[in-house]
Chain A
Amino acid sequence: MNASRTLATAVRVLRQLRHDPRTIALMLVVPCVLIALLRYVFDATPRTFDATGASLLGIFPLVTMFLVTSIATLRERTSGTLERLLAMPLGKGDLIGGYALAFGLLAILQSALATALSVWVLGLDVTGSPWLLLLVALLDALLGTALGLFVSAFAASEFQAVQFMPAVIVPQLLLCGLFAPRDTMQPVLKAVSDVLPMSYAVDGMNQVLRHTSVTGDFVRDAVIVSGCAVLVLALGAATLRRRTA
């Protein structure tokens, strides 16, 4: 890997986005609107908003980055720029690192906006530090980037790529503890939810919600989410082939 090439790739991805202001606006505004919507849906039960809202702050960056990365990488593959880059002296790590850096930056911005709105305007009651919420959100975004990069290798078109969203993300959403506590789930489902990374992303958010200090469970959650992100990024790198049929 080469820092200058990685950085140049990140700058290039951000420059591409800058020519597409509507996408940036959607990425930043939609999570805020949804969290505000949620606040008024649970107007009568603020405790429910606290739990669901915190979980969603972890889920938004994951979903958004998953979608953006899978489409961006797919476009890179179909436009021939990936083949060109891999025929040049660019390391696979430079490319993946560049994407992770660019989208990570965007995720920080997105999470900061959504978290600030939730805590200061919508009255989300967080016991721990909002900075920890932001940290988990960033790790979730990296996980989303990693998953998006990985699945884009199996999508031949944009149609297929967006269908991976319900296929890869929604099962995790159902099993992550947002709809029913994971401990009360049927044992097989509980076991499945134990190996899905989003469960830990949501649990990390809830740890910050309930505890003033950094708990052992929080550290475990953060380590698992980052470990999964790194593992999936490595798998994603393996799908980038310099030689193709």
Chain B
Amino acid sequence: MMNNQGSERSQVPPGAAPAVRAQGLSVVRGSRTVLDGLDFDIPRGRITGLLGPSGCGKSTLMRSVVGTQAKVTGTLEVLGRPAGSAGLRSRIGYVTQNPSVYDDLTVRQNLEYFATVLTPGRAAARDRRDNVTRAIEDVDLTGHADALAGNLSGGQRSRVSLAVALLGTPELLVLDEPTVGLDPVLRRDLWSLFGRIAAERGATLLVSSHVMDEAERCSRLLLMREGRILADGSPDELRARTDSATVEDAFLHLVDDARARVATRADSPEESA
């Protein structure tokens, strides 16, 4: 019933190719199929939320888009090129679930190093300094710029990790659970930052979360479960389609529906209630 290509496509300005296009995307890890033949598009210039329970394949999908996941089959195009192309590395910002920064460097030293990796050379020194300062301001860590990353709290460290991804104004930001463990005020601030990045810098954001209330912040949602995409559409559409009050209810409704279909196919209709 809930197909991947909904009416959503019409909201994308005509002629704008999607930032990410996947067809028959599958990933096998060991003997387990983590992603199973996914088809989806991620529109440019907007925030797409990737929602689903832990272990459903969100991180694997994100790693595939960034190009760090091995054994990816099917078609996966990112910003018009095959995922993992060398030319994409400076155009994508990626934040892993666990903060990946050097604990034995200060916040500023971390950012300075990654900024040089992105834009090397003496000629770009001023740009780098500006970029570093802006990234630190973006994540509200100016007061901690000279603190060792290892001495910061968990939430602060994940913001350092986020700041690294904001360096160099990437066209696509892939953020794996960026708001886990943050207090409500910071979560709100970060989501408004994400909104600004999409609106002002025209960047595409792919943000994963297992907290359903964050879904309302996204202009579009991919609901995932057990390596498949359960539904794809704007929060309003998903609520309307399932006649639910919240995205969480919509998700539960869709999971129940999917189970019911499996149960019917298995010839045990009494379980479908």
Residue of B67, B72, B109 touching A87 (CB-CB under 8 A): B67
CA A59 to CA B239, docked complex, whole Å: 69
Is A85 an interface residue, CB under 8 A from the partner? yes
What 1/0 mask marks residues of chain A from 1 to 17 whose CB sits below 8 Å from any chain B CB? 01011001101100110
What 1/0 mask marks residues of chain B from 136 to 148 whose CB sits below 8 Å from any chain A CB? 0000000000001
Which residue of chain A has its CB nearest to the CB of B165? A84
What 1/0 mask marks residues of chain A from 208 to 245 whose CB sits below 8 Å from any chain B CB? 00000000000000000000000000000000011111
Tell me which residues across on chain A come within 8 A of B67, comparing CB atoms. Answer: 87, 242-243
Nearest CB on A from B175, distance (A): 13
Nearest CB on A from B102, distance (A): 6
Is A187 an interface residue, CB under 8 A from the partner? no
Tell me which residues across on chain A come within 8 A of B68, comparing CB atoms. Answer: 83, 86-87, 242-244
Most buried by B among A2, A8, A84: A84
B 95-121 contacts with A by CB, 8 A: 96, 98-105, 109, 113-114, 116-118, 120-121
Which residue of chain B has its CB nearest to the CB of A18? B104
CA A180 to CA B71, docked complex, whole Å: 51
Q: Is the CB of B118 within 8 A of A81?
A: no
Most buried by A among B30, B72, B103: B103
Q: Is the CB of A245 within 8 A of B94?
A: no
A 1-49 contacts with B by CB, 8 A: 2, 4-5, 8-9, 11-12, 15-16, 19-20
Q: Is the CB of A84 within 8 A of B121?
A: no
Which residue of chain A has its CB nearest to the CB of B90? A89
A 131-189 contacts with B by CB, 8 A: none
Most buried by B among A2, A8, A86: A8
Interface residues on A, range: 20 to 34
Tell me which residues across on chain B come within 8 A of A94, comparing CB atoms. Answer: 117
CA A242 to CA B72, docked complex, whole Å: 13
Q: Is the CB of B148 within 8 A of A89?
A: no
Is A121 an interface residue, CB under 8 A from the partner? no
Is A90 an interface residue, CB under 8 A from the partner? yes
Q: Is the CB of A16 within 8 A of B104?
A: yes
Nearest CB on A from B159, distance (A): 15
Q: Is the CB of A84 within 8 A of B96?
A: yes
Nearest CB on B from A24, distance (A): 12
CA A74 to CA B177, docked complex, whole Å: 25
CA A94 to CA B29, docked complex, whole Å: 30
Tell me which residues across on chain B come within 8 A of A243, comparing CB atoms. Answer: 67-70, 72, 84
Q: Is the CB of B70 within 8 A of A244?
A: yes
Tell me which residues across on chain A come within 8 A of B197, comparing CB atoms. Answer: none
CA A68 to CA B105, docked complex, whole Å: 17
CA A2 to CA B122, docked complex, whole Å: 12
Tell me which residues across on chain B come within 8 A of A242, comparing CB atoms. Answer: 67-68, 84
Which residue of chain A has its CB nearest to the CB of B96? A80
Tell me which residues across on chain A come within 8 A of B105, comparing CB atoms. Answer: 12, 15-16, 19
Tell me which residues across on chain B come within 8 A of A8, comparing CB atoms. Answer: 113, 116-117, 120
CA A242 to CA B68, docked complex, whole Å: 6
Known: A83-B96, A87-B89. A4 touches B103 (CB 8 A): no
Q: Is the CB of B120 within 8 A of A79?
A: no
Tell me which residues across on chain B come within 8 A of A19, comparing CB atoms. Answer: 104-105, 148
Is B223 an interface residue, CB under 8 A from the partner? no
Given contacts A4-B121, A83-B100, 12 further A-B contacts (CB under 8 A): A5-B117, A5-B120, A8-B120, A12-B105, A79-B102, A79-B103, A80-B98, A80-B99, A81-B101, A84-B100, A89-B89, A243-B84
Q: Which B residues form the contact surface with A (CB < 8 A)? A: 29-30, 66-72, 84, 86, 89-90, 92, 94, 96, 98-105, 109, 113-114, 116-118, 120-122, 148, 164
